[in-house]
Amino acid sequence: MNKLQELKKHLKRGKVYRRADLSKWSTSVDRHLDELVKEGTLQKLSQGLYFYPEVTVFGEAPPEEEVLVRSFLKDSRFLLTSFNAYNALGVGTTQLYNQKTVYNHKRHGDFNLGGKTFSFRVKPHFPRKATLEFLLVDLLNNLDQLAEDPKEVVSKVCFRAKTMDQRKLKKSLQEYGSAKAKKLLEPVVTT
């Protein structure tokens, strides 16, 4: 068995690999990666990041976003979200955005991974899961980046805040809110 075949033996469908992950099974990792990409076994997602696609009846399935981000960061402490999630709050946001936001502790900036743009933002604190209370606070944190009329959205956010679990909302505001978000919501949140 040649070295390339031996490397292939360690690959699992649906998994994202870093170059460093594969170097333990190959003495010529760059040459082998080039060969695997050329033959279609692996797909190059970005610099040093590769994917071994699962094959479905519809063709090759793209990598799961969570798996992709976890491999890129080499960390599982992140929150993957999108401005689209604000639409579920019922505060007048209806735009659709192509970009995903990744709150994390390591990387900052916009990165194209597998043809999708991810906006990585380093934050000291973020929840494991995006709750409605967190999303309302996060919407105010990102208000200047939304396509909707800010004044209209803020008035609807203040009305929506009154209908939410006040204890959870206050906790989210204290832990994740920017100074601007706190200024807008603190008068509305009851204790």
Q: pLDDT tens digit string along 166-175? A: 999 999 999 9
DSSP letters for 97-158: -S-EEEEESS--EEEEETTEEEEEEE-S---SS--HHHHHHHHHHTGGGSSS-HHHHHHHHH
CA separation for the pair 191, 135 (Å, rounded): 20
Q: Say if residue 174 is in the same domain as residue 133.
A: yes
- Whether residues 81 and 165 share a domain: the answer is yes
How far is residue 168 from each of residues 75, 82, 90, 125, 188, measured CA to CA in Å? 27, 21, 18, 16, 14
Domain identity same for 98 and 136: yes
Q: Are 155 and 81 part of one and the same domain?
A: yes
- pLDDT of residue 16 exceeding 60, the answer is yes
Q: Domain for residue 179, yes or no?
A: yes
Q: What is the pLDDT of residue 56?
A: 87
Shared domain for 128 and 57, answered yes or no, is: no
Res. 1: pLDDT tops 60: no
Which of 63, 87, 102 corresponds to the end of one domain?
63
State how many domains the chain has.
2
Q: What is the dihedral of CA 143, 147, 149, 152, to 10 degrees?
A: -60
Q: Which residue has the tokens 């805040």?
A: 161
Q: What share of residues in the chain are helix, strand, coil (percent, to 5)?
A: 45, 20, 35
pLDDT of residue 60: 86
As a whole number, mean pLDDT of residues 38-56 equals 91
Instruction: Give the C-alpha separation, 191 to 186, whole Å.
Output: 10
The whole-number average pLDDT for the span 89-105 is 92
Q: Are strands 100-104 and 116-122 parallel, antiparallel or unpaired?
A: parallel
pLDDT at 191: 59
Cα(86)–Cα(77) distance, integer angstroms: 22
Nearest in space to 136 (alpha carbons), one of 187, 186, 98, 185: 185
Question: Which position has the token pair 């031996």?
Answer: 6
51 and 139 fall within a common domain? no
Range(s) of the domain holding residue 93: 75-185
Mean per-residue pLDDT, 155-161: 93
The answer to whether residue 190 sits within a structural domain is no
Residue 27: predicted pLDDT:
85
Which three-class secondary structure state does DSSP give residue 169?
helix
Residues 116 and 180 in one domain: yes
Strand (E) or helix (H) holding 28: none
What is the rounded average pLDDT of the residues 112-137? 94
* Mean pLDDT of the region 24-52: 91
| Position 191 in a domain | no
pLDDT of residue 139: 97
Residue 70 covered by a domain: no
144 shares a domain with 99? yes
Strand 54-56 with 49-52, pairing: unpaired
Rounded to the nearest integer, the mean pLDDT of the chain is 92
Same domain, 107 and 180: yes
Q: What is the tens place of the pLDDT at every residue in 55-96?
A: 888 888 888 999 999 999 999 999 999 999 999 999 988 889
Regarding whether 81 and 30 lie in a shared domain, the answer is no
Q: Is residue 68 part of a domain?
A: no
Q: To the nearest whole percent, how much of the chain has pLDDT over 70? A: 99
Question: Is 69 part of any domain?
Answer: no
> Are residues 159 and 126 both part of a single domain?
yes
Averaged pLDDT, 91-120: 93
116 and 172 inside one domain: yes
